[in-house]
Structure 1
Amino acid sequence: MVAAKRTRAEKKKAYDKKLCQLLDEYTKVLIARVDNVGSKQLQDIRKGIRGDSVVLMGKNTLIRRCIKVHAEKTGNNDIENLGELLVGNVGLIFTKGDLKEVREEIAKYKVGAPARVGLIAPIDVVVPPGNTGLDPSQTSFFQVLNIPTKINKGTVEIITAVDLIMKGNKVGSSEAALLSKLGIRPFSYGLVITNVYDNGSVFSPEVLDLTDDDLVEKFAAGVSMVASLSLALSYPTIAAAPHLFINGYKNVLAVAVETDYSYPHADQIKEYLKDPSKFAVAATVAAVDSDAASVAALKEEEDLGEESDGDLGLSLFD
């Protein structure tokens, strides 16, 4: 017995139920652009990320309505941020895995595609030099596109590399025909992650590429800006505290140098100012001390090495 075909209302109700289950179960979602992605390619992507991720496609208006209703029922208004990202031909990838790893897995499923007439080129297309394998009767294609060629052993050979199509330009009929004859599939298409939703927060996928070193560098730059602003306004902050103490100490030292007031470190500075040659002596002594410490450490390592070698020899011949 053949099951009765579901009506459109029943399909929408089932879709709404599935989407609500995913919203309850997953807190991380990747929004992916699916332009020029075929059904077979999408099926391979579903299989590749199966286990901790689910791909959901559908009409943007229907998804937005489901998200809005679900947000009202659950009181989780942050979910509505997800609906605002549904612009253009996009799909949702719900995941429990690491966002960066899931994005890298999705990027593996790119498929080469020919240059079709009227298509906007996503990259620059360069025809490399070399033998094309085409007979001399095909030279008209190259002449139309001003591609320098020569006849070599009965076939057409391209002399120099040629920038055939620039990124952002439409593919013409001549370019498409030539690339087809040369067997060049210059473009590749796959799911492109445009936005990331993580438990109410929305950010660009470039954030996933940040490393710990990048975060430390940005944090240090922020602390430096806070310290600079604090010093300019004479407003004390933790970031500016070391600089304030050092600047205060410099003022105390300056007063000690210009007056009879003194303390041990100021006495040393005064001696240097009276006899500048002591600066060079102090620098030389510091360098000698550093070299001596290095030599001592190296000697200690050699002694340890000799002792371990000697112990090894005794243990072998005992």
Structure 2
Amino acid sequence: MAHVAKWKYKEVEEVAEILRKYPVVGVASIFKIPAPQLQSIRSELKEHLLIRVVKNNLIRLALEKAAADKKGIEKLEDLIDGPTAIVASDLNPFQLYRIVMQKKSPAPAKAGDIAPHDIVVKEGPTSFKPGPIVGDFQRAGIPAAIDKGKIVIRKTTTVAKKGDKISHELALALSKLEIYPFEVGLDIKGLWEDGILFTPDALSVDIDKLRADVATAASSAMNLAINIGYLTPETVPILLSKAHMEALAVALYAAVPEKEVIAVLLSRAHGQMLALASLAPDVLDEELKSLMGEVSMSASEAEAPEEAEEKKEEEEAPSEEEALSGLGALFG
């Protein structure tokens, strides 16, 4: 039986303890991350994230040990491929994934890399002056030409499809054009929480859009509940207020003498009586004539300020004779 170094047992137990301790754990690829950048990521995220780089076979052993306490955590084994690190956090999986993604930075392509997506070079001028670089671009499949003393890209071109192998010539040309198709940073392969394994396709949601969608759904649900009279703690106060206003409207329309509408009904009846009385002034008794007189006086008082203002303007305007004499004095 092969001898197993004691440090490996210790390493497995330490990683298993991390997996047991944190509510959210996962595995992340560290492929092509330079050591200084990995250290920088560790430093920047130390408040939210623990990163432990371990050999893959030791990670698998630690996952199997932790599975006794955390059901389903062993599913992370299927996501281990290439250089891998254990990640652990007290943030929820979606917050953690978003923070890690924000720390990624653009990186240039190298010969032999596989294109992560379609790589497109857009039409337009470049900053390069005419020279041998035109041939370099053309050998990379980029339609370059010289126009007005500058190298230009004649048309937008897809120089590599997703999954294509990037040639040496294309890698150099893309770097010169400052097109960086790769991102360097932790690549989360999966996160586990409460027995659920979250993969990147589930984690890469637009949080702002999700919030807006939830708010829209809540508003639509409230409107529907109000319109169909569905009773909930949120809708009851609104439905009672709506019913009260509708009852008042019916009472006014049907002239129901309830205490909440009687004042409005009396005021409306009084106005209708005065309107009718104004149509037959010769048959009014003394009381109605007096009442009509008060209404007329109120109307006259309201018009008086306007008439006074008009009269004042007329008095201030010069007469025709005054205007002519003024002209005569002006011209001698």
Alignment map for 1:302-317 (pairs within 5 Å): none
- 1:259 alignment partner, one of 249, 254, 263: 254
Q: Is the 8 A contact 1:126 1:162 kept in 2?
A: yes
The superposition leaves residues 288-315 of structure 1 with CA deviations (integer Å, 9 ceiling, x where unpaired) of: xxxxxxxxxxxxxxxxxxxxxxxxxxxx
Find the residue that maps to 1:15 and give its secondary structure: helix
Structure 1 unaligned runs (5+)?
Answer: 1-5, 276-318
In structure 2, do the counterparts of structure 1 residues 267 and 149 end up closer, same or farther at CA, with 3 Å as the change threshold? Answer: farther
Bigger CA radius of gyration? 2
Gaps of 5+ in 2: 273-332
Equivalence for 1:142: 138
- 1:245-304, Cα deviation, whole Å (9 max, x unpaired): 1342244234313434233554577668998xxxxxxxxxxxxxxxxxxxxxxxxxxxxx
Q: 1:230 to 1:192 in 2, by over 3 A?
A: farther
2:86 to 87, 92, 95: 92
1:186 paired with 2:180, answer yes
- Is the CA contact (8 Å cut-off) linking 1:52 and 1:96 kept in structure 2? yes
Offset, 1:164: 4.2
Task: Tell me if structure 2 keeps the 8 A contact 1:29–1:93.
Answer: yes
After superposition, the C-alpha distances for 1:10-44 in whole angstroms (9 at most, x for unaligned) are: 56523320112213443343653444434554344
For residues 108 and 87 of structure 1, do their structure 2 counterparts lie closer, same or farther at Cα, with a shift above 3 Å needed?
same
Give, in whole Å, the separation in 2 of the partners of 1:151 and 1:69: 66
Q: Structure 2: which amino acid aligns with 1:110?
A: S
Matches within 5 A, 1:219-234: 221-222=217-218, 224-225=220-221, 228-229=224-225, 232=228, 234=229
Alignment partners' CA distance in 2, 1:121 and 1:83: 25
* Equivalent residue, structure 1, for 2:66: 70
User: 3-state DSSP class of the match of 1:225?
Assistant: helix
Where does residue 305 of structure 2 map in the other structure? none
1:33-182 equivalences under 5 Å are 33-39=29-35, 41-50=37-46, 53-58=49-54, 63=59, 65-72=61-68, 75-77=69-71, 80-81=72-73, 83-84=75-76, 87=79, 89=81, 91-95=85-89, 100=95, 104=99, 107-108=102-103, 110=105, 112-117=107-112, 119-122=114-117, 124-126=119-121, 129-132=125-128, 135-136=131-132, 139=135, 141-142=137-138, 145=141, 147-150=143-146, 157-160=151-154, 162-165=156-159, 168=162, 170-173=164-167, 176=170, 179=173, 182=176
Distance 1:157 1:215, change over 3 A: closer
Q: TM-score under structure 1 normalisation?
A: 0.57
Alignment match, 2:240: 245
Equivalent position amino acid for 1:114 in 2: A
8 Å contact kept, 2:67–2:73: no
Q: C-alpha separation between the residues in 2 aligned to 1:137 and 1:71?
A: 57
Rate the CA distance shift 1:134–1:7 in 2: closer, same or farther, 3 A: farther
Going from structure 1 to structure 2, the CA distance change for 1:106 and 1:63 (only over 3 Å counts) comes to same
Q: In the aligned structure 1, how far is the partner of 2:260 from the partner of 2:154?
A: 73
The structure-2 alpha-carbon separation of the partners of 1:70 and 1:202, relative to structure 1 and needing over 3 Å to count, comes to: closer
1:14 aligns with 2:6: no
Distance 1:146 1:86, change over 3 A: closer
Find out whether 1:218 has 2:210 as its counterpart. Answer: no
Count of matched residue positions in the alignment of Structure 1 and Structure 2: 261
TM-score of the aligned structures, taking structure 2 as reference length = 0.56
d(CA) in 2 for partners of 1:97, 1:146? 45
Q: How far off is 1:97 after superposition? A: 7.5
Q: CA 1:216–1:46 in 2, change beyond 3 Å: closer, same or farther?
A: closer
What are the superposed Cα offsets for residues 223-262 of structure 1, whole Å, 9 maximum, x if unpaired? 6516625753x54211221332134224423431343423
Q: Deviations over 1:45-78 (max 9, x none)?
A: 3455457643134566754553343342xx444x
Relative to structure 2, which stretch is displaced further, 235-244 or 90-99?
90-99
Distance 1:67 1:151 in 2: 61
Contact 2:63–2:73 under 8 Å retained in 1: no
The answer to whether the Cα contact below 8 Å between 1:228 and 1:240 also exists between their aligned partners in 2 is no
Q: Give, in whole Å, the separation in 1 of the partners of 2:77 and 2:26.
A: 10
Q: Is the 8 A contact 2:116 2:162 kept in 1?
A: yes
Identity of aligned residues (%): 18
CA distance in 2 between counterparts of 1:226 and 1:61 reads: 53
Give the root-mean-square deviation of aligned CA atoms.
4.8
